[in-house]
Copies of this chain bind each other. A is one copy, B any other.
Amino acid sequence: MLFEKIKSPGIAHISYLIGDGNEAVVIDPRRDIEIYLEKAVQKGYKITKIFETHRNEDYVIGSTELKAKTGAQIWHADENLDYQYGKPVQDGQEFKVGSLKIEAMHTPGHTPGSMSYVLYGYEGEPWMVFTGDALFAGDVGRTDFLGEENLEKTGGWLYDSIFNKILPLGDEVILCPGHGSGSVCASAISKREWTTIGIERKLNPKLQVENKEEFIELTSEVLEYPPYFENMEESNLTGRELLADYEKPAALSVDEFAEAMEDDDTYIIDVRMEVSYSSAHLPGSISIPLQNLPSFVGWFVPVGAKILLVTEKGEYPKEAIKHLYRTGYDNILGYLSGGIISWHMAGKKSESVSTITVDKLCTLLDDESENSVIFDIRSEDEIDAEGEIMDAKNIHLTQLPKHYNQLPQDKPIYIFCGSGLRSMTAASLLQKQGFTNQKVVLGGLLAWNSATCPIV
């Protein structure tokens, strides 16, 4: 028996590989599909079916990639959407995987067509359920994709899906959601890597409700989403060019890189840590440390843009490329060979962004508080959960590009996030806008909390 949980960091997407006999299926494959071939085909399993839980909006689904390499059938989740590939699965439809059985179960709410898949064990009893974005460890799927005006309807659907379909499978059934914790986005998904229906029934805060009305009220939120989602929605209906057909991002010499930078459609993403970016970076580059790339590139780089990458020592940006491809950023021109030290050795100019540690900030604030701004870029959820900073200006990082004018050009701006990573992204965006007085607070709110400066 083959059971593999495959987690893609950053977007914290989870796909599943289930095999029995010599046959295997994949639920919600990611776009870089080598891992499924390695863990199934190369272990004696033939991948015969691909199941999608819904038309995913946050990553490029790998169904057509995987089909091209295995000939597997694609079963997608919403027959009302205009899919250019695969077949729609029906509520109650059953499939064999060796001597196991998988049954599709319509669980709308996150999207109208969302499907869960119930895996029945060797004895014929429900064993696991793959819920996509309907039910997570510690949270439920968002219900706002049909707009604010439909929140009651979609929330009601989700209530029925969870309370009348998923939970009745039994406390003992293992729950396999489509996302896990680990996203830097503010999110209530728990760090509980493995969970069961019973654990969620008891501990998931969104399930501690008396009735449908309470559930709808609790879940009726309109959340922000990044612009690239629209591109995903299209890609995941029409399919997309196969990764295999792309030229590999190349090692570019300093001169080649400098030339490529001159194109106005080109975005330079510096994936180094915040402190590295701080002391020296290429003019115009945006700081998005590698671990944040999947979550934030979609907010600051338009789909289709030409991308240049900068790494620590000029090492091949393998993970960055994977992250970008997963979220549909396909036009990666190359990376800086030799890294930023080569840039300097070639006599090129670089820029810097100031940082400050909390102990120094505390001292400073006493002196200059009137003349400076504390700028908190955390999300509302984070602020609620972790506490507000007194007198801080709040704009969530993702919304910054729309609100540059709310910040003063002439005063020191001390930028806060949880750790300092996202603050550097904000600082780099401000630098591109001509701000010169922004400073990143190293360690962010966590550092702040360890010191003795006041929090509301």
Contact = CB atoms under 8 A, between A and B. Distances in A.
Nearest to A45: B251
A127 interface: yes
A366 interface: no
A233 to B, nearest CB: 27
B69 A248 contact: yes
Contacts of A350: 357, 442
A188 to B, nearest CB: 12
Give the number of times this chain occurs in the complex, counting copies. 4
A346 B70 contact: no
A298 interface: no
Contact of A358 (B45, B127, B244, B347): B347
A251 B45 CA distance: 5
A273 B312 contact: yes
Classify chain A's interface size. Answer: 35 or more
A69 B125 contact: no
A407 interface: no
A447 B316 contact: no
Given A46-B250, A247-B70, A248-B37, A447 B347 contact: yes
Contact of A341 (B203, B274, B339): B274
A8 to B, nearest CB: 17
A293 to B, nearest CB: 14
A344 B122 contact: no
A235 interface: no
Given A123-B203, A275-B340, A346 B447 contact: yes
Contacts of A399: none
Interface stretch (A150-158, A169-177, A388-396): A169-177
A282 to B, nearest CB: 12
B251 A443 contact: no
A194 B128 contact: yes
Which 6 residue pairs are nearest across A and B when measured between Cβ atoms? A172-B198, A347-B450, A344-B443, A244-B244, A42-B316, A345-B446
